[in-house]
Amino acid sequence: MSSSNTISHEIAAILRDEILQQRYRSGERFPSERDLAARFDASRGAVREALSQLEQLGLIRTQPGGARVQSVKSASLAVLGPLMALGDYPDPLLVDQFLQTFSVLTAMTAKNAVVAASPEQLIQLKKLVAELAGEAEDFEAMQPHWRALLEAMSTIADNLVVRLISNDLKAQFVDQMIELGIRPDLRAGSIDKLLSSLRVSLNNQDGELAGQAMQDHFVELREAVGEAIRFRADELSIRAAN
């Protein structure tokens, strides 16, 4: 990556976060290329590229007379990760909305994958479930196995739209949780229950059971993640008070 491209990405990241932090109101005129070039001591070309990146994210819109800030509600999915990473801990409502959405995609993928799987693919899925079971006690250690299982299910289900959306959501969410030290404490037996249901669904090629198992798991996961975020917030408040 050239020096100019590196600078433009750095400028875009700073401006992106400032927009997400609502330092600029929706509809407000964005600073000009000249003003931004002076602020960042950068070339107009680097600033222009940074603004292009912001426009691709849906955060600004270039119009005659200059760029204007757009509502975050009109932005692309790519801003979800940065939006959750703005503070010392993510917005609990935003995280819950993410998990609720992701649970629907995951349940649909699991259901379709189990029904469509060939005998060889069923063996592959059973192997991945077994590998996941081996790390069931460690949230962070489980994540590569979760990704492998969901990736395999997505491939078998052969739904490109769901796969692309899921890939983006997974990459932005899980890494953020680990980086922020947020590790949900699921109730005893929760993972075992999920894994048991997945094994039965694969043995019987029962897509409905697989989908329902994923939905039930995410209900518990949403509650556990919410509690973990609240604990993190309380911990930071105590530190600040001391």
pLDDT tens, N- to C-terminus, the chain (242 residues): 445 578 999 999 999 999 999 999 999 999 999 999 999 999 999 999 999 999 999 999 988 888 999 999 889 888 888 888 787 777 888 889 888 988 999 999 999 999 999 999 999 999 999 999 988 878 778 888 988 898 899 999 988 877 777 766 666 677 777 777 777 888 778 889 999 999 999 999 999 999 999 999 999 999 998 898 888 888 878 887 87
| Maximum CA extent, the chain | 65
- What Cα–Cα distance (Å) separates residue 53 from each residue in 5, 15, 88, 221? 11, 10, 25, 34
Could you give the domains of the chain?
Answer: 3-75 (1.10.10.10), 79-241 (1.20.120.530)
* Paired sense of beta strands 66-69 and 60-63, if any: antiparallel
Listed residue (13, 207, 227, 233) closest to 99, CA to CA: 227
Helix axis angle, 207-241 relative to 190-204, nearest 10°?
160
